[in-house]
């Protein structure tokens, strides 16, 4: 329900076809896909871990925080997710304005046509509009240039402070895990001392096993997890055809899943019958 190219039902079917037995759904700043994913998971006999990926900032960098098994009715959490979604929409319009004034053939209406009803708008929808218009072939091309954070067309959006988001997720009964924390293009700037502070604030884990992490980043996450008693997760960060990532290219160990379920009180996973 954010920027994946499949519906939650199609996602569950793709997971089953890939031999996956436990799947987490973590859309950007929305839990709008939970109900449909839950129905599909029950029908398919798949365990579903419901979550969200919250847009946060640390310093001036964008960082994403996964919140597993949160209570979506928690008001502080719902407020933050709503603010992010609203700001994301106006931000896309401003990016498109900058692009069109530079002669890139795209309109905001074309971009909006790519956003499914109730979905969280994001830069991938601009890429999709460019694909639809025949300007590019794959989202990658747009992210390498026009949509990158270094592009003159880039506009940021509201994002909650990372430490505050960690506290909010815990208060909502969820388990906060930083999504690929050491991706070079993102937030290579998170110092170890800040991970220590986040751990004290309730951080549950680090997503270590991810295609944006090389051996040095994995080793760093493993060292920090041992030092601050954090869980280590792995995930494909699958977006359908929108990204090169394949389902189950990285996975989370069973004991870690059990610990996440044990620590959570916001939502119950849909358990495989």
Q: Helix or strand or coil: residue 66?
A: strand
Binders of ligand AMP: how many residues, by CB under 6 A?
11
213 near ligand AMP, rule: CB under 6 A: no
Q: Which is nearer to ligand AMP, 150 or 193 (CB)?
A: 150
Contact set for ligand AMP, span 132-161 (CB under 6 A): 139-140, 143
Minimum CB–partner distance for residue 94 and ligand AMP (Å): 12
Question: Site mask, ligand AMP, residues 49-88, x = CB under 6 A?
Answer: ----------------------------------------
Q: How far is CA 153 from the centre of its chain?
A: 22
Q: Which is nearer to ligand AMP, 36 or 141 (CB)?
A: 141
What are the residues whose beta carbons fall under 8 Å from the beta carbon of 203, sequence distance 6 or more? Answer: 166, 176, 177, 178, 195, 228, 230
186 near ligand AMP, rule: CB under 6 A: no
180 near ligand AMP, rule: CB under 6 A: no
237: left (phi over 0), alpha (psi -120 to 50) or beta: left
Residue 136 Cα distances to 64, 106, 133, angstroms: 27, 12, 8
Closest Cα partner for 179 from 230, 254, 263, 237? 237
Minimum CB–partner distance for residue 34 and ligand AMP (Å): 18
Per-residue tokens: 189:
């700037």
Per-residue tokens: 241:
């055809």
Minimum CB–partner distance for residue 89 and ligand AMP (Å): 11
Question: Site mask, ligand AMP, residues 238-257, x = CB under 6 A?
Answer: -x--xx--------------
Q: Which is nearer to ligand AMP, 225 or 238 (CB)?
A: 238
User: Per residue, what are the HEC states of 183-234?
Assistant: CHHHHCCCCHHHHHHHHHHCCCEEEEECCCCCHHHHHHHHHHHHHHCCEEEE
User: Residue numbers of the site for ligand AMP (CB under 6 A)?
Assistant: 3, 28, 122-124, 139-140, 143, 239, 242-243
């Amino acid at each position: 329900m954010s920027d994946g190219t499949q519906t939650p039902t199609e996602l569950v079917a793709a997971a089953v076809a890939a031999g996956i037995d436990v799947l987490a759904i973590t859309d950007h700043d929305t839990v709008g896909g939970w109900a449909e994913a839950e129905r599909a998971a029950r029908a398919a006999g798949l365990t579903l871990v419901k979550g969200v990926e919250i847009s946060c900032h640390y310093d001036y960098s964008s960082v994403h925080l996964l919140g597993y098994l949160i209570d979506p009715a928690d008001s502080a959490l719902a407020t933050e997710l709503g603010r992010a979604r609203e700001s994301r929409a106006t931000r896309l319009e401003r990016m498109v304005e900058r692009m069109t004034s530079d002669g890139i053939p795209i309109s905001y209406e074309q971009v909006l046509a790519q956003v499914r009803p109730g979905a969280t708008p994001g830069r991938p929808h601009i890429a999709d509009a460019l694909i639809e218009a025949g300007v590019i072939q794959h989202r990658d091309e747009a992210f390498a240039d026009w949509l990158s954070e270094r592009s003159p067309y880039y506009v940021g959006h509201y994002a909650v402070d990372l430490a505050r988001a960690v506290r909010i997720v815990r208060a909502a009964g969820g388990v906060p895990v930083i999504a690929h924390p050491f991706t070079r293009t993102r937030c290579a700037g998170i110092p170890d001392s800040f991970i220590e502070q986040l751990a004290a604030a309730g951080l549950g884990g680090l997503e270590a096993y991810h295609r944006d992490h090389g051996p040095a980043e994995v080793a760093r996450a493993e060292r920090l997890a041992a030092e601050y008693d954090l869980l280590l997760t792995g995930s494909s960060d699958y977006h359908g055809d929108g990204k090169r990532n394949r389902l189950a290219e990285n996975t989370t160990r069973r004991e870690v899943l059990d610990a996440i379920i044990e620590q959570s009180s916001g939502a119950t996973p849909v358990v495989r019958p």
